[in-house]
Structure 1
Amino acid sequence: MNRLLVLVRHGQSDWNLKNLFTGWKDPDLTERGVAEAKRAGEKLNDMRIRFDVAYTSVLVRAQHTCRLILEGIGQPDLETICDQALNERDYGDLTGLNKDDAREKFGEEQVHIWRRSFDIPPPGGESLKTTAERVLPYFESEILPRVLKGENVLVAAHGNSLRALIMELEGLSGEEIIARELDTGVPIVYRLDEEGKIVDKEVLQD
């Protein structure tokens, strides 16, 4: 029996549109983001996927995405668990800055290091490594056991919290995962075996 784990990065947020470092700030979806989330629900509905539980962060853009997906597959009242462990990476002093302005302020090379290194955090913030250190224990203690029980699980979260999960699932190095781009509102469907190993992976891209 294959077990389904579906990961979805939230739809475009207002701060994505404005090219701002968002982190733990809490903007909602744009009109495009709403459309992306609805489209994700349609794709999953076309595959006749139904879930036993959903997980999301405490941030509204992920929760809104999750809610729209569940409405789209006819499961609006599904058990949904929100936890800070699934929040986006905290960008610290970069939070709220336009990415171009940040390059001007700190230098293009330094901002590139903060964004694209695995273990060097921006001032006051998290690296992808420290993000993974809070995401993965939660995944292993709360989410994975439900998948291994045979439940279909949806996780609607953020680019970097999902990178941490993908790194673990696919056995990627820090350098490999930092280069992985995740489009907004695109479901990644994993079929796992009884040990949590990937049997099949499908990215539901248009």
Structure 2
Amino acid sequence: MAVSEEPTDTSTLLETGQEPEILRVEDLHTSFFLPIGELQAVRGVSFSLQRGRSLGIVGESGSGKTVLARSIMRLNLGSNVETSGSAFFDGRDLLALPLREMRRLWGTEIAMIFQDPMTSLNPMVKIGRQVTEHLRQHEGVNRREARRTALDLLNEVRIPEAESRIDRFPHELSGGMRQRVSIASALACEPSLLFADEPTTALDVTVQHQILNLLSREQRQRH
């Protein structure tokens, strides 16, 4: 997502729910240092989110929504990026954690569904293996168990004929199916916090409705 040279100070934050709190962001700033100078993508954003609830971040294109989510997850890596403020997840300040510890949280406790599955999925790896990547990496499951889990997840996100599609590559699936694979991958380790970066933007209206219903159903079942 492109960042405007004159971003809004904050995005509109719509919050629902009560305690207990799972995420609290305080005065978050992110800047990119480019040859033309400093580009302030996120300026002074604060909000809180209760466990089991949804929070919508609303803003025009280029207002910094994607950068905000990536900043909280520490995905904006590079020598030309500077992030300040706090992002407390279950009492831990994510912005202060060593990167090694942060990597252990990625996919297991915090996950993200990216806007374009063609850029988040590896075109050279079959979807079944991609869905269980974090399971194999963090929980040490064997190949047979990983395949069974992948099949369960693909069925859970309602991919038709999942058993025959588990060994296919991303380009062999439709846009809607690729997004469902991305969702299955994000849900594999049952994270407590899930970021969804406009996961339906590139899909037609019917598929958008299906994906939103799917995310809502998964949230209810897991909380």
Q: Same fold (TM over 0.5)?
A: no
Greater share of strand residues, 1 or 2?
A: 2
TM-score computed with the length of structure 2 as normaliser: 0.29
Structure with the higher helix share, 1 or 2? 1
> Which fold has the larger relative contact order, with Cα–Cα distance below 8 Å and residues 6 or more apart in sequence?
1
